[in-house]
Amino acid sequence: MSTTTLPPIGSAWIHKTDPHDIVVVTGYSTVSRKQTKKNNIVKIHKVKTNTQTIELMHMFTWHYKPLEQGEQR
């Protein structure tokens, strides 16, 4: 899944290759680079390790998908 829309705060996401790696979106931030470019940052809480971290938006959607879109059986 790839999107330019920020994921909703409080939403749960699952890692695309590790079904035990679940994160909850806790907020956003913006980082400016070279005075012209801005990268959206997604603040996440990793449930597996109980840690807070950040991901660039495009990397976040590259590695994670919404929990409700988990594997179909």
17-70, pLDDT tens digit by residue? 998 999 999 999 988 777 666 778 999 999 999 999 999 998 999 999 999 865
pTM equals 0.80
In a domain, 42, yes or no: yes
Instruction: Tell me the sheet residues that pair with 33.
Output: 37
Domains held by the chain: number:
1
4 part of a folded domain: no
Classify residue 3: in a domain, yes or no: no
Strand ranges inside the chain, DSSP E? 12-15, 22-33, 37-46, 51-56, 64-66
Range of the domain at 64: 12-69
Among residues 26, 31, 29, 13, the alpha carbon closest in space to that of 52 is found at 26
